[in-house]
Structure 1
Amino acid sequence: MSSPGTPRRALRITGFVVAILGLLLALGGVWLVALGGSAYYLIAGAGVCATGILLVRGLGTALWLYAIVLLGTIVWSIAEVGLIGWQLEPRLLLPVLLAIYLAMPWVTRRLAPARGGVVALLLLAVVGIGVGVAGFMQPVGTRGEMVVRNDAGGHDTSVPDDEWLFYGRTPRGDRFSPLDQINTGNVKNLKLAWSAHTGDTMRPGEDKGGTDAGHEFNFENTPIKVGNTLYVCTGHSWVVAFDAATGQKKWTFDPKADTEADVYLACRGVAYYEAPQGTQTDCPRRIIAPVLDARLMALNAETGKPCEDFGEHGFVSLTKYLGHVPAGFHFVTSPPLVLKDRVMLGGWIYDNQAEGEPSGAVRAFDPLSGKLVWAWDVGHDPQNWTPGPNDQLTRGTPNAWGVYTADPDLGLVYLPMGNATPDYFGGHRRPMDEKVSSSTVALDIETGAPKWVYQNTHHDVWDMDVPTGPSLVDLPDGKGGTVPALVQTTKRGEFFVLDRRTGTPLTEVREKPVPQGAVPGDFTSPTQPYSVGMPSLAPKNLTEASMWGATPFDQLMCRIQFRKSYYKGQFTPPQLKDTIVYPAFDGVIDWHGASIDPYNKLLIANANYIPFIISLAPRQEAEAKGLVKPWDGSGNEPKVGGGLAPQYGTPYVGKVHPWLNPLDVPCNPPPWGTLAAIDLVTHKLVWEHPIGTTRDTGPFGTHFNAPLPTGIFNIGGNMTTRGGLIFIGATADNYLRAIDERTGKEVWKARLPAGGQANPMSYAVNGKQYVVIAAGGHSGLGTKSGDYVMAYALP
């Protein structure tokens, strides 16, 4: 039995806790006001602190005071953000819950007088709940329905409908399956047909990205399907062949890749080549795949054994002609593009480490012999040439690390270009680097001769690489015919529609002024190109009022960080202090690109929204503090940690990290991931919805199993089908989803055993359609790791 003093003691404890919380809010509010921010937190914090003191003293006026605070909070919230549900949540949820708690009998029975205050609190709590509910009832995104066109000549017939021969099914990169057995009417019946294991799993030390942990193990593969076989590559460069109908493993080849120095372990796909009839080879059908230690290999598609006539016993070194290559400075994660007896690929050059890194030249090899046919090297005259035994490709040139696409009829391959390293300082870049950085480049497939360049970010000091080749589509020309077009997705969220013959924009592009003020020794372009003739998925500029948090406290910290940091909107140049960059190098749309329904001229894109913080520090200062060690480029690079970008050869050391608050929650508001449809004829946004939930994410990396529909971060792309469906994994909540292409509504989903950070694909065997996704997780995103290949079909 409790003593008479127990309720009184509990009231004092409650009052003490409330006072402390109010004091913390007020102190943070003082800091924010000193930085020029909102006075709300100071005023509200003082009111909450005073409420706690009155509770300790047992005075019923505490309830009236808190009622005033809550009323002011409701009015302030609506005035700042209107009726936007996720924006209201951190402003109202805890204050309303506290009001309800303070109105409970175990608090009020020791307060005098209290009845009027209780009524006021409960009424205001109801009002606060009503405002929040009204906010969440507002539609999120854009709702509409696509125009049904059914252009019978819409899709590329060079690949049989039941096959998936390239990363994007065809060299056009449209990621569209013409199969319609699975459609909007029966997708609800889709079941797991088979699952298989590659056998390649995460190893110790590969659970995080960057130089701190050393490695980041990811399963980003899109399988290809040839005949009755599915070919998959893994994070350690294994190639595995499965029976496409049953998932039975046919063979595995492990090239024993030395990945010790590689910070990013992934293989997004392999390529297929079939020799012309009559060719003298023991390996007429071959799988050509990258190896993470900078090799290229050719395997017998039937047996998995290396093709002896390719290079040296099945392997070609990709460091040849590159001069000195420090460990981990060059490897390939994307599949080569094989067309017209050319194996074309570039490679990833280690970002932000140094000037004068190995060449970013793109090369083409003979698919039978492995001999170098041509290299496209912007530092050579002519740019397309074949280096001799003692020649070296120009160091430090921009690289093209993403997936390539092509138009075989035009004989052109389209390259997504990155920057000359490093990314966050461009003061020493050469004119040849500036011309092709962050551009789409068209080359002649057979000769490597450049045909045109279209740049979508000038003097890029934000790492806005073009991360994947454009998707090709034929569009109406307004005169009864069609024009061969391409759509280039970007990390910026802009879509550039070009004539793929010439690189000329088909929709309006306008140069707009952007923030200026680069660090000493660098400069910024006065304008940047905006594709104003197309809808943009670029985020709105951040403001203090748009800062988010799970609670008022972490939201306050985000506001303080916002006020302390340098930010002038999109294209804010990195400074010698914390600089907010949004969108940032992870992109609105990254390496996964977009899919296109060629029948209905609809582009489908999944987007990400997370700001990053970049700062630069003078090199001499950073080296004096021991943050980085001096390096002259010889030998291997000294180990660098702490998220630092050493940028050797420049005056500055950089630091970059995602902008998360103290709870590891983003400072920008939901949605953090969306899926959108854009009509390529009318140039309108048809619909846009949040995609994914918080089921497998939470503060401090916890998993609360709370599937809040915030839209969530996603890595990996989507696929459209003739059945009117969009299939997408990608999201951090470990689901494969089917979306109705007409409206964007979810019509089916399946729980994956690990993260599905890969592009799904589809094919048919014996008339039965399958939808397949690699489910092996992504260390950078923090999803569950595994080695699964999951196939779904109708019963």
Structure 2
Amino acid sequence: MKPVISMIALCAWFCYGCNNHKEEIKNTDWPKYGGNNFGSRYSPLDQINKSNVNQLKVAWVYETGDNKDTTKRPVNMQCQPIVVNGILYGVSPRLKAFAVEAKSGKEIWRFDPFKNADPMYHPSRGVTYWESGNDKRIIYTAGKFIYALDALTGKLIDGFGDHGKVDLYTGLGEGLDHDVHQQYVTQTTPGVVYKNIYIMGTMATESGDAAPGPVRAFDVVTGKLKWVFHTIPLPGEYGYDTWPPGAYKYMGGANNWSGLTLDEKRGTVYLGTGSPSVDYYGATRPGTNLFANCVLALDAETGKRKWHFQTIHHDLWDRDIPAPPNLLTVKHNGKSVDAVAVSGKDGLVYVLDRDSGKPLFPVTEKPVPTDSTLKGEQPWPTQPYPSKPAPFSTQYITEKDLTDLTPEDHQFALNRYLTTRRGNKFMPPSKQGTIVFGIGGGAEWGGQATDPDGILYVNGNNMPWDLKMMDLAEYNNNASSKGKALFIKNCAVCHGADRKGGGADYPSLLNIGKKLSKDKIENIIASGNGRMPSFRHVSYRDRNNIIKFLLNTDTKTSASSAPHNVPEPTMARNGKNAGQGTETKFPYESPYVSNGFLQFRGPGGYPAIKPPWGTLNAINLNTGEYVWKVPLGEHEKLTRKGIKPTGTENHGGMVVTAGGLVFIAATEDEMIRAFDKDNGKIIWQHKLPAGGFATPITYAIDGKQYVVIAAGGTRYNLKPGGSFIAFALP
């Protein structure tokens, strides 16, 4: 009997261990955007691991119902949901906030911000949760308002702002000579909460009508404005002298659109900012332009600057900091150092001391080209180059990088390459054109992950863009119609001079009259839609001329009837145009516009450079060295031809787990994958009903671990979707 008793005891011990493990992961939430205040996108859960991940099955699906109406333009979905106390909170493609049971996907409530208002759709990456006692709130932005909802019922909280909502423009217009409500502003990435303070950034346009991008904080209980940090400094503020005097009155951008992270112990919020307006041309903003393209550490209580680090001076290439900084601890020179890791659209990673902002790996200012061919442009003569880590995406194109998929593709790429200005990633934009990287990443808004060992996981794009600048004065003189000239001036930067657009965010406008009525087009131009801002500042007559051009009903006009009111690109001082002596008014009209979001692709439709076109990278931030680098995504047609997986353009982020896994979707092939975090090998993949251009999360309820991804599709001209899909072990 003794051996039997021993076996029973052994089994009892084993089961006790299983129950303990089950208890250990019970009710493990994902309570914040990025998983925690540090933005780690890391989970200690290991129930799903390398040995069993291939057994994952769909556990439940929550269908929002959005994007099912084929008569409406589909809307992108980028939401990374959160889970608090067993409830999953998220945002649908059409910006309805919702709560579902996290173990079943059963809806608890839904809130429609546009039920009694005109919709203003834009990307939303999630919501923020706050609680104090029985007061539990969801804070999120839809359109022009910040909303506070009861987390248990979804009802507006009456004591917050104006019966549950706050005007998003609050605190934005200080010092301006015009009503800031004329400008397009919204919030795409959720803010963070420090004590009772909700801290947030905003999204703006990137043209002459761009709104300023200050970081603001609101009382999470009352909705009252607490503080404002001006990223385009006002007179007397630090950094004011890095712009021409009075720049804050007419310059916009320098905004934090990508989110923030928080060190509660230090009482510090960390964030990155984007480029100043206008993209690709900066003659009216000579200087380094603080605090555009900066990593910022602000006092969370007061908004006062603790330190800053600028990654691009006088940005002319739209090289924003596209994701929240990652806070982690690394080993440096034998000591543990609390650090900030920042990944850029240019494929560079900066590792900074969290207290001082000083780089842990040397950063050198190196000379860069300054021979701009655009009137008045003054490129900054040096740019920062970090010594480590090495870039995770291509920096600039060389002839050996050109595609060799087919002889036709190669010849096409070579012909264009030989006519461009080339040789440096900081080649100033020109009418001749440059093949550039970084407009869509490098890194992008999906965000990076870090684990407790100091490893950074980052997905990168190697997508080339054919950037050309167009002289509006020349174009207007030669335009076949006034409507076409106005279209180039106002619309080509997104929809392209050829009106072919660039995917769901920048749709084709060819044959738009077959899809929308004249009145509907006028309403969209005046009010905005999706990522498109309002153009109400454009006169009704000019808007009507644009519509005639779009509907192909405009008539030819002589050069003399085309607009000629474009200001010279001289430095603006004290709100005056120094070259003309006239007042600089909003919106600022740049004499140049880009040719739109034009990717450099060959006749076959693939990027006109050699793969990989998308990668997943693991970088040891203790040493600055790579652990591994692998292609992310594949083009099935090329795989069937015997070509190794090339990687694809990718937008979305990842989550890394103690189970040794990195989960990421993000790719053109609509897959979600699990990679071995130690070597980058794919050990599970699943085809989603629509592309997962978002960041997955993982959590556990009643001892079961789940992985959830939003499948919204629409990017890369793929089919739309509107569902949240949960995976779990059987």
User: Same fold per TM (> 0.5)?
Assistant: yes
CA drift at 1:320: 3.4
Q: Is the 8 A contact 1:549 1:665 kept in 2?
A: no
Aligned to 2:505: none
Aligned to 1:682: 623
Map Cα deviations across residues 366-424 of structure 1 (whole Å, 9 max, x no partner).
Answer: 1111111111124336759xxxxxxx985534211111111111111112111221111
1:635 and 2:575 are equivalent in the alignment: no
Q: Is the 8 A contact 1:383 1:449 kept in 2?
A: no
Aligned to 2:186: 331
**CA–CA distance in structure 2, aligned partners of residues 259 and 609 of structure 1:** 41
CA drift at 1:197: 0.6
**TM-aligned CA distance change 1:204 to 1:381, over 3 Å:** farther
Aligned to 1:619: 472
Aligned to 1:186: 52
CA drift at 1:739: 0.5
The letter of the residue matching 2:90 is V
1:455 and 2:305 are equivalent in the alignment: no
The letter of the residue matching 2:387 is V
**CA–CA distance in structure 2, aligned partners of residues 364 and 298 of structure 1:** 14
The letter of the residue matching 1:192 is V
RMSD: 2.9
Map Cα deviations across residues 529-581 of structure 1 (whole Å, 9 max, x no partner).
Answer: 11112232131532234321542112211111111222223122100222221
Q: How does 1:510-659 map to 2 (within 5 A)?
A: 510-518=364-372, 519-539=374-394, 541-548=396-403, 550-581=405-436, 583-598=437-452, 600-624=453-477, 625=479, 626=482, 627-629=484-486, 635-636=537-538, 648-656=588-596, 657-659=598-600
The letter of the residue matching 2:58 is L
The letter of the residue matching 2:113 is P
**TM-aligned CA distance change 1:275 to 1:730, over 3 Å:** same
Q: Is the 8 A contact 2:201 2:259 kept in 1?
A: no
Question: Pick from 7, 29, 39: which aligns with 1:173?
Answer: 39
The letter of the residue matching 1:266 is P
Q: Per the alignment, in what secondary structure is the counterpart of residue 791 of structure 1?
A: strand
Aligned to 1:315: 165
**TM-aligned CA distance change 1:774 to 1:327, over 3 Å:** farther
Q: Is the 8 A contact 1:440 1:469 kept in 2?
A: no
The letter of the residue matching 1:307 is I
CA drift at 1:648: 4.4
Q: Per the alignment, in what secondary structure is the counterpart of residue 772 of structure 1?
A: strand
The letter of the residue matching 2:336 is T
Aligned to 2:501: none
Aligned to 2:727: 792
**CA–CA distance in structure 2, aligned partners of residues 713 and 650 of structure 1:** 31
**TM-aligned CA distance change 1:328 to 1:396, over 3 Å:** closer
**CA–CA distance in structure 2, aligned partners of residues 567 and 765 of structure 1:** 54
CA drift at 1:327: 6.4
**TM-aligned CA distance change 1:314 to 1:383, over 3 Å:** farther
**CA–CA distance in structure 1, aligned partners of residues 100 and 641 of structure 2:** 33
CA drift at 1:452: 0.9
Aligned to 2:273: 417
**CA–CA distance in structure 2, aligned partners of residues 623 and 187 of structure 1:** 59
**CA–CA distance in structure 2, aligned partners of residues 266 and 303 of structure 1:** 24
**TM-aligned CA distance change 1:257 to 1:709, over 3 Å:** farther
Query: What is the percentage of aligned positions where both structures have the same residue?
Result: 36
Map Cα deviations across residues 133-183 of structure 1 (whole Å, 9 max, x no partner).
Answer: xxxxxxxxxxxxxxxxxxxxxxxxxx9981111111111011101111111
Aligned to 2:557: none
**CA–CA distance in structure 2, aligned partners of residues 634 and 594 of structure 1:** 37
**CA–CA distance in structure 2, aligned partners of residues 191 and 301 of structure 1:** 29
Aligned to 2:657: 721
The letter of the residue matching 2:61 is S
Aligned to 1:711: 647
1:273 and 2:130 are equivalent in the alignment: yes
Aligned to 1:407: 263
**TM-aligned CA distance change 1:161 to 1:586, over 3 Å:** farther
Aligned to 2:75: 217
Aligned to 1:427: 283
Q: Is the 8 A contact 1:606 1:674 kept in 2?
A: yes
**CA–CA distance in structure 2, aligned partners of residues 608 and 465 of structure 1:** 14
**TM-aligned CA distance change 1:337 to 1:383, over 3 Å:** farther
* Larger proportion of helix: 1
**CA–CA distance in structure 1, aligned partners of residues 627 and 318 of structure 2:** 30
CA drift at 1:759: 0.6
**CA–CA distance in structure 2, aligned partners of residues 782 and 160 of structure 1:** 40
The letter of the residue matching 1:311 is G
Map Cα deviations across residues 309-360 of structure 1 (whole Å, 9 max, x no partner).
Answer: 1111111111234353466721111112222211111211111x216x3221
**CA–CA distance in structure 1, aligned partners of residues 646 and 52 of structure 2:** 28
Q: Is the 8 A contact 1:237 1:255 kept in 2?
A: yes
CA drift at 1:704: 9.4
1:734 and 2:670 are equivalent in the alignment: yes
**CA–CA distance in structure 2, aligned partners of residues 315 and 203 of structure 1:** 28
CA drift at 1:203: 5.9
Q: Per the alignment, in what secondary structure is the counterpart of residue 110 of structure 2?
A: strand
Aligned to 1:241: 99
Q: Per the alignment, in what secondary structure is the counterpart of residue 786 of structure 1?
A: strand
**TM-aligned CA distance change 1:340 to 1:620, over 3 Å:** same
The structure, 1 or 2, with the larger RCO (C-alpha pairs under 8 Å, 6+ apart) is 2
1:664 and 2:613 are equivalent in the alignment: no
Map Cα deviations across residues 475-506 of structure 1 (whole Å, 9 max, x no partner).
Answer: 12434x42110100101111100011111111
Aligned to 1:773: 709
How many positions carry a matched residue from both structures? 600
The letter of the residue matching 2:150 is N
Map Cα deviations across residues 558-610 of structure 1 (whole Å, 9 max, x no partner).
Answer: 111111222223122100222221x2311111112210012x21111111111
**TM-aligned CA distance change 1:382 to 1:468, over 3 Å:** farther
1:360 and 2:201 are equivalent in the alignment: no
CA drift at 1:634: 7.3
Q: Per the alignment, in what secondary structure is the counterpart of residue 713 of structure 2?
A: coil
Aligned to 1:23: none
The letter of the residue matching 1:487 is A
Aligned to 1:112: none
The letter of the residue matching 1:411 is G
Question: Pick from 359, 364, 367: which aligns with 1:505?
Answer: 359
Q: Per the alignment, in what secondary structure is the counterpart of residue 523 of structure 1?
A: coil
**TM-aligned CA distance change 1:576 to 1:763, over 3 Å:** same
Q: Identify unmatched segments of 5+ residues in structure 1.
A: 1-158, 208-215, 278-283, 385-391
The letter of the residue matching 1:601 is G
**TM-aligned CA distance change 1:442 to 1:204, over 3 Å:** farther
**TM-aligned CA distance change 1:754 to 1:500, over 3 Å:** same
CA drift at 1:468: 1.6
Stretch moving more, 294-303 or 533-542: 533-542
**TM-aligned CA distance change 1:271 to 1:602, over 3 Å:** same
**TM-aligned CA distance change 1:707 to 1:548, over 3 Å:** closer
Q: Is the 8 A contact 2:96 2:113 kept in 1?
A: yes
Q: Per the alignment, in what secondary structure is the counterpart of residue 436 of structure 1?
A: coil
The letter of the residue matching 1:748 is W
Q: How does 1:755-766 map to 2 (within 5 A)?
A: 755-766=691-702
Stretch moving more, 562-571 or 419-428: 562-571
Rg: which structure is higher? Answer: 1
Q: Identify unmatched segments of 5+ residues in structure 2.
A: 1-24, 239-246, 491-534, 551-565, 567-586
